[in-house]
Structure 1
């Protein structure tokens, strides 16, 4: 009986399962827009179930579901639809565009907003624009894409730090960098590590973030957009949102690319020919002998002595005898002239007394020190989402070998983003990222031994060889004029920096009411940098110490905890949003430096093996607590108003001024919804908005408000200390008062769209070192006394020029006109300061009331006197000078010239142009960046366009071709001389050049493989692509790369390279 019942139940169950299976069908569908063009990324969900999927690039999808199911179809920019399956196995769906849905959803402070309803000034760059460029750090992909954002790529070195300025600069003493926020939490950013104190290099902590993990980047520009971040947002905010899963089956995405950099993006101080160089050197040396009172015959004889490596001092006991201290005779060359004048053509021939005759042969140092750079990137990710779980996990490896030998960057990174719903009301989120970088061989300074661009372009004559011509052995001695054999010495030094970064963002969201959500975030961010530099006893930097090694460890931790309550409610046509929250932040830094000297051998070069030790260690930190709130209101999405308030308290300030209040008010009016605009068919979007608010900036010094005693001094073996810092308890927040007014428009069915925006930023209470009586033991004290102003206009224009089934062409451009000037200084006194980059005080600036914030200060070079080839300087001292030149008082003596403002580094106009063309499965993207106006200061011209100060240096071709001589009296540069040696060494307008340029930053071409071909391999999507970076540059400045640092200066930094990248991406 039991067996009969069991059998009956099994038959009933099987029958039920068979019936259920019979109701399940596989649907194949295609989704297009109103023009019949396939739409990718459309989300298809089964209503009331957890099933779902999305369309591929051809608009196709497949889904297993019930024959009577209802499908919900949704996509950004299109009206939502519900479709009854009704047993159909094939479905074609056409989505109509929704003018309201076309609004871009942007990530803002503590939330998201539709761009059309947002009252602040913000721009967004999506992942597809970032993916198009082969970069190790995402900042470089922003160039030319956001109006008002100025990106400075001052170095093409692997792993170099970029600088971002949003709407000018707002401080003279504190930071001008924006605040970086990742997934809602402020993070450690900038150049981290302390090795810069020793060799002035950069180590960009943001390069630990894999650009392939980024979903979008929002740039917040005005107070309404950024004031919720309070004291850190005066210079704008960059919000990075990392990727999440999308509804549907798990998706595995693989991307791999490899690129080469065979050449620089520009010419870089191309040397003159060996013949021109030796003729110029002969003229300089000859002139110095004439200045010493020698006759023409004596000057000619002694100059040739020096070139031939013979003692040229008539008063020396070794006069005329071989010397190894100078000249090219010791390198296998000999020199002669036909006559005895200063402008003789010098004959060069090879010597025959060694193992090698170098007659007519020269060494190519560029080939030896530079290589074809290689860029390699590999990423794999797994992502997906169900009704309750959203996940994204990735692993990546990137390698960048720059064109300079011994300069490599490696990164390995992993990320897990997870969101899990727990019941109906609770949601848990976890974003964890770990990355390790290794950077070796970095040096962008004017260090004479380890900057290979400087060596190859200015120090290493082609008559210097890495081997001795007499013996064929490796040449280890100094060549002369600070030149050394880098092929030998690069084996005798090490320079590396290792960065590890762990960040974890944990969150809980609780839906207390349908309109009210409570969210708590806890973030842990730790960055550790270990720097290593070693010079052997054979290296000239280590000879005096019998070998030297330095190890530096810097650990930075940032803990952030925030809790916010978000309330959103609609009452008919009224919509309100309220936000309130609390945030606490703790930052700590630990620093350890150990140096060892007198190393036992080159194989044992650790601090532990050194005979002489020196060490120091420090620990410091700061804390912040904040309360914040925001209120938003709109009526019928036609009239909008918002207000925000944040109160910050920081340990960087004394108890009195510790707390600062930061706020904003904003409003906008959507005129397109008004009846009198609706009737105008050509206008589809018309909105005006405005805002006013206050942000702040903290002092960079953690202890500026208190007296500090340093115990780093010693007397004999006894510890000792002294007052290190004279504190000012009244030091307070710098304040930025920001006004913003904008007009947004969309015309002709939104085929033409854009924004015109005016802003004004008054920065007050700026920190300035104010002079005090020296009887205090100090020369100045920090006070809030300065003021400056930034104002300008930003314009963004775009057009969907073509948009049909096969073609889509979108063209956009942006421009920013910004004027930045100093409005108040303590007592109206000027402040003279130097470019802090490069470590060589390469350029001088001045803060002066009424003048630009980046005013170059120096001597005004008038040019060359065509009658005699001498330098001419405008005196600018109110006198008539020694003579009148071009209508102004002038002199041949630079000592009689007065320093003045000689130029402005701020451009008159800058921006970008972007073009995206899609044709069937092909896509072509172009990204241009440009700058018009302003000056750049080229410190290298002191070296390569020298008219006498540096005798045995290589001259650039542009100088030898344009310097004055009896046969070239139209030369724009002065004649070379051996007597007025300091002229070129002055900071002057002679080193200033027009900074305007247009550059094709990136070109991308991709092809998506046909779906029919991919199905056979089980692949849902695949493309092959090509990227080209820095392939075209148009500039008035022809001598080096016109992309300079944030101060408008250039030294011997590594120039940018042309990069050609090929890759493949596929998913399944």
Structure 2
């Protein structure tokens, strides 16, 4: 009995003692940058599986025993360990670390481990896209990752962007990258429903809402792009959309309003007074009597002066409104969003509106079955430059109207341009044309997919993915019968024009894949993926045109009196592919990667329809080697290299096929005739590339460097080659020629200061690419009027006569001959390679500052090593070619007036001076280098104590500016060009300043 009582007493003492030692610890986890709470952070007792998570306010509570410590972590933050020495309340701050934002990088078919990868990739995250003025996903890539060139052929909202990764790899085939979204290839082309009839080209990627993007990964070398075989030669851009996360549901609202205007102001025209002086001086220089000068250009002309340079431009606006909802459990997660964006461009009549909804839902049915359903719908409405001819645009039209011509009649109404007294080269009053004509393009895009996965074991997972990308486009081009473009003076009843066209693009994708991790001996791991894929693209289009409108208020084809044209077309292609990838790792330090893909395409000749593509890659994490553990300088050191073969299939769908034209006739009867000879052996352009990369860090990752050296050679260029005329043709498409790109890329990131809540980070990107043609058919040059492809030179080489200035004796233009003498005859001048359009060097510098909820970031972007053809100046600074109309200010500066003058510009004459303004000489070829303050963002996170009573988890306000300041010697509208660098009255990029608010509940 005594023993029993003693045992119960000891047990009671033990329980009391245990309770005395165990204590409850409460705490809060916040962001080191802004002090905001971090919800759903993981709190774990070190060395155990016990833990909890923070609530929406960042608070947690957990029981601890003496000697235990806490490990605190959250996605996107560096983990910390907190030693507990008896305290019952603790505050934990987590700092971000770019290396821990995600352990894996999305490559489309699979994810690759960030640390052990063998490939060269660049990445843009949702944080980089946040609060920016990007209409198009492509715009977000500019300056964010080395080796990527982004330039628009127009600054119009939604206009197509030119993207090149590691240079230009072809002469006649496409050089644009492949686009992949959530593992499926999507349509990233230009959808120009009206083709050459005038509807502005637009970028299909502008249909996607940048706020729905989680990451954009740029795949550059063969180790990454070989997964895409015949379509990977030009690089791959992988877009991953946002997904739901388990935990408390969140609702987010973002709103933004801003103003937009031209980056460098309107066209710098002479003032009417300056233009009048120039016109009078030109006549005097050429011997016109003073009486005739006074009669032709009296000073009274200034009474009717008008500034056409400012006309047609405005300060536009942009509006953004978005709503998101996300959440879920371990079994099911969801993300949904709705967005609206309206941008009014700085040119009158131009802009876009986009409506978008998106949802991503994932469900874990049981331990084996996973489902994923994604849907992305958008409708985009574009207003482009108004209908009618080119002179209807303010960009060109301002130069072709008299500075002494008002757009308004004495009674206040507008001139239509048809009046005899209206003074304009093309008789166009573009202000009236813009008020009456219209040029619209409406797009609907639906992207949807379903993925079903069944996991048998860790080494076998089977997935089936079905996806559809559906695009509908409707183009409407209306020319009012009262405008000069629309009025038919010979047959007034046929005045006015309406053109409508419908286009539908459908891409169906079916993927069946097997993946897993094969169990091996200790320290060895082997992952694999095998995929069978089927892609089918189909396009159909239908268009009709009618003329003859009784009224400009009726804008439907049915009311036109005379049918003008009916057209219809269709095309399709198919790809069937088999691919596999193995990834072997030993001890977490040594990685080998091998990829193989077999592609079959309907685009190519029946004899060469299938092709094989491959890559091999290796990486070595030197910092983990035992011999590196004693050093204290380096905190990271990795080497990687790759080599592989990819292809370029960006050709016309029927380039290899012998075609017949059915729009021919004989003796009035319909018929057909051969139109192309075809080539049964035509196949892909093949790209062999190699890459060596180094990644290093010092000072505990405060300073990090990524450096790559690459070389890629494209073989079998698609080019025209001569054939015997007995075939009925003179040339045939064949695979001949080689192009080389080689260069270096570097990214340097540093944490300059991190102290007491203040942090300053810097990121420097730099790339250099050298392009050279290695081989052409027969070694023969391919020449155009101003360009050339020649062995040993750049693909985008300019080919022009050399401008030698002005003859001081007579004011005539001069050019150099082949023996470096001068001539006043352009035809006698010698043409030479005068530079290239593609920039050689591209770089950016970004700084980010944060302190107690205040954030400031700014990025400078620039490029050099290219020449831009300023065709705008060739018209506006043309020595009197367009006498009596508007001139640029340059035309009035330093021109020849009398013998002995050392002048920059020739003697001005009516109709010009001996072809001096011809663009076939390099007079108007200018240095294209520039530096631009690309982006500035200032934000403030509202303190949590202000928000908790409103049940708001996070809220911040921000101001952001894009393209704010530009430094350049270029004299055209704007130095930023597409890859052709040929500015012909191009719509310039816009400068935008916005204010915004983001709130999360």
Output the TM-score relative to the length of structure 2: 0.91
Paired residue for 1:953, among 858, 877, 885?
Answer: 885
Residue 317 of structure 1 corresponds to: none
Alpha-carbon deviation of 1:151?
Answer: 0.8
Q: 1:406 aligned to 2:339?
A: no
Residues 751-780 of structure 1: per-residue CA shift (max 9 Å, x gap): 111111100000000100123344544332
- Unaligned runs of 5+ residues in structure 1 are 1-24, 291-295, 308-334, 336-347, 351-357, 835-843, 879-887
Paired residue for 2:415, among 475, 483, 490?
Answer: 475
Alpha-carbon deviation of 1:50?
Answer: 14
Q: Sort the Cα spacing of 1:956 and 1:968 in 2 relative to 1 into closer, same or farther, 3 A.
A: farther
Residue 918 of structure 2 corresponds to: 985
Alpha-carbon deviation of 1:869?
Answer: 2.7
Residue 161 of structure 2 corresponds to: 162
Residue 226 of structure 1 corresponds to: 225
The 3-state SS of whatever aligns with 1:364 is: coil
2:306–2:404: 8 Å Cα contact kept in structure 1? yes
Q: How many residues align?
A: 963
Q: 1:461 aligned to 2:402?
A: yes
Residue 872 of structure 2 corresponds to: 940
Residues 667-722 of structure 1: per-residue CA shift (max 9 Å, x gap): 11111111222221010111111100001011511112221112123468643222
Q: 1:707 aligned to 2:655?
A: no
Q: 1:548 aligned to 2:504?
A: no
Q: Sort the Cα spacing of 1:673 and 1:89 in 2 relative to 1 into closer, same or farther, 3 A.
A: closer
Paired residue for 2:771, among 799, 803, 820?
Answer: 820
1:53–1:249: 8 Å Cα contact kept in structure 2? no
Residue 392 of structure 1 corresponds to: 335
The 3-state SS of whatever aligns with 1:943 is: helix
Q: Sort the Cα spacing of 1:699 and 1:149 in 2 relative to 1 into closer, same or farther, 3 A.
A: closer
Residue 19 of structure 2 corresponds to: none
Q: Sort the Cα spacing of 1:496 and 1:53 in 2 relative to 1 into closer, same or farther, 3 A.
A: farther
The 3-state SS of whatever aligns with 2:664 is: strand
Q: Sort the Cα spacing of 1:38 and 1:394 in 2 relative to 1 into closer, same or farther, 3 A.
A: closer
Distance 2:892 2:129 in 1: 43
The 3-state SS of whatever aligns with 1:180 is: strand
Alpha-carbon deviation of 1:55?
Answer: 7.2
Paired residue for 1:519, among 437, 450, 463?
Answer: 463
Alpha-carbon deviation of 1:370?
Answer: 1.1
The 3-state SS of whatever aligns with 1:608 is: helix
Paired residue for 1:865, among 807, 817, 839?
Answer: 807
2:838–2:979: 8 Å Cα contact kept in structure 1? no
1:740–1:757: 8 Å Cα contact kept in structure 2? yes
Distance 1:1018 1:245 in 2: 21
Residue 326 of structure 1 corresponds to: none
Paired residue for 1:1023, among 956, 959, 963?
Answer: 956
Distance 1:608 1:33 in 2: 63
Alpha-carbon deviation of 1:728?
Answer: 1.0
Q: Sort the Cα spacing of 1:642 and 1:897 in 2 relative to 1 into closer, same or farther, 3 A.
A: same
Pairs within 5 Å for 1:889-908: 889-908=821-840
Residues 430-462 of structure 1: per-residue CA shift (max 9 Å, x gap): 11010000001336x994333112223x12333
Distance 1:35 1:904 in 2: 45
More displaced stretch, 618-627 vs 970-979: 970-979
Pairs within 5 Å for 1:325-724: 335=298, 348-349=299-300, 359=303, 362-442=305-385, 447-456=389-398, 458-469=399-410, 472-476=412-416, 477=419, 478-544=422-488, 545-569=494-518, 571-613=521-563, 614-714=565-665, 718-724=669-675
Distance 2:99 2:110 in 1: 19
The 3-state SS of whatever aligns with 2:729 is: coil
Alpha-carbon deviation of 1:391?
Answer: 0.5
Distance 1:551 1:101 in 2: 52
Distance 2:928 2:507 in 1: 39
Distance 1:73 1:716 in 2: 86
Distance 1:999 1:955 in 2: 27
Q: 1:1004 aligned to 2:923?
A: no
Alpha-carbon deviation of 1:98?
Answer: 9.8
Residue 149 of structure 1 corresponds to: 148
Distance 1:408 1:434 in 2: 20
Q: Sort the Cα spacing of 1:536 and 1:80 in 2 relative to 1 into closer, same or farther, 3 A.
A: closer
Residues 106-141 of structure 1: per-residue CA shift (max 9 Å, x gap): 111412123221000001111111123212112112
Q: Sort the Cα spacing of 1:375 and 1:27 in 2 relative to 1 into closer, same or farther, 3 A.
A: farther
Residue 817 of structure 2 corresponds to: 875
Residue 61 of structure 1 corresponds to: 58
2:709–2:745: 8 Å Cα contact kept in structure 1? yes
Distance 2:377 2:552 in 1: 34
Distance 1:467 1:924 in 2: 48
Residue 245 of structure 1 corresponds to: 244
Residue 752 of structure 1 corresponds to: 703
1:259–1:1060: 8 Å Cα contact kept in structure 2? yes
Q: Sort the Cα spacing of 1:518 and 1:81 in 2 relative to 1 into closer, same or farther, 3 A.
A: farther
Q: Sort the Cα spacing of 1:769 and 1:819 in 2 relative to 1 into closer, same or farther, 3 A.
A: same
Q: Sort the Cα spacing of 1:674 and 1:251 in 2 relative to 1 into closer, same or farther, 3 A.
A: same
Distance 1:860 1:267 in 2: 31
Distance 2:545 2:51 in 1: 62
Paired residue for 2:903, among 971, 974, 979?
Answer: 971
1:461–1:954: 8 Å Cα contact kept in structure 2? yes
Q: Sort the Cα spacing of 1:51 and 1:1020 in 2 relative to 1 into closer, same or farther, 3 A.
A: farther
2:147–2:166: 8 Å Cα contact kept in structure 1? yes
Paired residue for 2:986, among 1036, 1053, 1056?
Answer: 1053
The 3-state SS of whatever aligns with 2:134 is: coil
Residue 795 of structure 1 corresponds to: 746
Q: 1:44 aligned to 2:42?
A: yes
- Unaligned runs of 5+ residues in structure 2 are 1-22, 489-493
RMSD: 3.1
Q: Sort the Cα spacing of 1:94 and 1:453 in 2 relative to 1 into closer, same or farther, 3 A.
A: closer
Distance 2:470 2:981 in 1: 33
2:34–2:852: 8 Å Cα contact kept in structure 1? no
Distance 1:745 1:85 in 2: 34
More displaced stretch, 923-932 vs 267-276: 267-276
Distance 1:54 1:628 in 2: 43
Distance 2:957 2:942 in 1: 8
The 3-state SS of whatever aligns with 1:403 is: coil
Alpha-carbon deviation of 1:276?
Answer: 2.4
Distance 1:473 1:145 in 2: 50
1:51–1:386: 8 Å Cα contact kept in structure 2? no
Q: 1:30 aligned to 2:28?
A: yes
The 3-state SS of whatever aligns with 1:895 is: helix
2:870–2:983: 8 Å Cα contact kept in structure 1? yes
2:773–2:790: 8 Å Cα contact kept in structure 1? yes
More displaced stretch, 844-853 vs 30-39: 30-39
1:269–1:957: 8 Å Cα contact kept in structure 2? no
Q: Sort the Cα spacing of 1:658 and 1:1059 in 2 relative to 1 into closer, same or farther, 3 A.
A: same
Q: 1:266 aligned to 2:199?
A: no
Q: 1:1064 aligned to 2:994?
A: no
Residue 798 of structure 2 corresponds to: 856
Q: Sort the Cα spacing of 1:675 and 1:113 in 2 relative to 1 into closer, same or farther, 3 A.
A: same
Residue 111 of structure 2 corresponds to: 112
Output the TM-score relative to the length of structure 1: 0.85
Q: Sort the Cα spacing of 1:40 and 1:915 in 2 relative to 1 into closer, same or farther, 3 A.
A: farther
